[in-house]
Amino acid sequence: MKGKKGIAYGLLLFQLIAPMAVSADTIDSLNKEENQLQQQSQAISQEVQSALTQVNETYQAVETLKSDIAENEARLVETKEEISQTQEAIERRKEVVAERLRQLQVNRVNENKLFVLLESSSLQELINGVYAITLFQNAEKEAVESLESETAKLETLEATMEETQANLTQNQAALEEEAATFETRVQALQEQLATNQAALTTIANSKAVELARIEAEAKRQEEEAAAQKQAEADAKKAAEEAKKEQIQTNVNQNTSSNQSVSKPSTTTPSTPQPAPSVEETPVVEEKPTSTGKVLYMESTAYSYTEPGSSYYTALGIDLRQNSQVVAVDPNVIPLGTLVEVEGYGIALAADTGGAIKGNILDVHLGSVEACRQWGRRFNVKVTILD
């Protein structure tokens, strides 16, 4: 019986612990997944911040290039205008030179110049005239060459600026493409971050549901344990009540048998019969089964008829109706135990007393005189019955 009871308790304990272990594993798994997602989200947020910083720097570089392109384009326009003006000046200069040459041919200036040279009054005047003519021609030639050189420089500058403009435009396109790439990357990271956030929300909801389930399961298990405990208490109480009823029934039967055997004769009213002696203690016909435990105790007697005594025992038994009772020390013989006392009979350990301590027992008798006759006895055999 005890083995089956132990198995039942073991199964109950397993049923109580197993769901808790599963729940703990579930919560641990959710917490682990939540921590991983939080770490991943933190890393993504840092990556998004870094990408946004790069996007901002790229756009700032694009804006700088745009400013450089605009500035270079303005200079290019100015250079082209200067080239145009210089070319116009060259054309005008060439026209002037051509016009002068044409006039020299028409007016035969050369002959005049030769005539002027031949008419010179001195050699010095001749030299001065030739030098003047040479200077005039050289000045015209240098002016044209200077304008052509300036035009070449301007054209070289124009080519350089156009190449710079092309490079700047190309760099701007590359930076804008890089910025677009960064924006795409940021968008992808933000989408992943939103996905992680949704997953974290789902995990939080799952944890809330699991915790609520665990709480409900714990409450249910607590209620079941309380109900089982109450059922066990009720069963124990019912068993105790049944035992008390059985004991009371046995006491009643013993008392009835004792009274029928030891009842004194009253045929001669004028001569009262003395109280029954100790040796006349009735013998019960049916005895409960003995547990085999025997005590040898000191024994005294008491009676509810003694002045100041109560009719009721420590267990609430009315001694006027059921007098077959002994007073014991509950530490030696528990209250409610059925005993057989040598020279007294079967009785219920249902009372206690201030002087009843240790290995001593007080039998209840119907009168003070019977108590005097009982006296104090030693090595009285007391058998514990079921």
What pLDDT does residue 187 have?
87
Average pLDDT, the chain: 80
Q: What would the mean pLDDT of 134-161 be, rounded to a whole number?
A: 84
What pLDDT does residue 260 have?
46
Confidence check: pLDDT of 109 > 60 = no
What pLDDT does residue 341 have?
97
Cα-to-chain-centroid distance, residue 170:
54
Neighbours of 321 (CB within 10 A): 10
Six-digit token pair at 356? 């009843």
**Cβ-proximal residues to 350 (8 Å cutoff; 6+ apart), any chain:** 313, 314, 315, 317, 325, 326, 335, 336
Q: What would the mean pLDDT of 22-45 be, rounded to a whole number?
A: 84
Q: What is the pLDDT of residues 75-95, one digit of tens each?
A: 889 998 988 988 888 888 888
What pLDDT does residue 270 have?
34
Q: What is the pLDDT of residues 261-315, one digit of tens each?
A: 344 333 333 333 343 333 333 333 344 455 569 999 999 999 999 999 999 999 9
106 class by beta-carbon count within 10 Å (0-12 exposed, 13-18 middle, 19+ buried): exposed
What pLDDT does residue 269 have?
35
Q: How confident is the model at residue 383 (pLDDT cuts 50, 70, 90)?
A: very high
Q: What would the mean pLDDT of 108-127 be, rounded to a whole number?
A: 64
What's the CA gap between 78 and 164, in Å, rounded? 15
Task: Using the CB atoms, write b or e for 69-99: b if 16+ within 10 Å.
Answer: beebbeebeebbebbeebbeebeebeeeeee
Q: What is the pLDDT of residues 320-369, one digit of tens each?
A: 999 999 999 999 999 999 999 999 999 999 999 999 999 999 999 999 99
Question: Is the Cα torsion angle 292, 295, 299, 301 positive or negative in sign?
Answer: negative
Residue 360: what are its φ and ψ, rounded to 5°? -140, 145
What pLDDT does residue 285 have?
37
What pLDDT does residue 219 have?
85
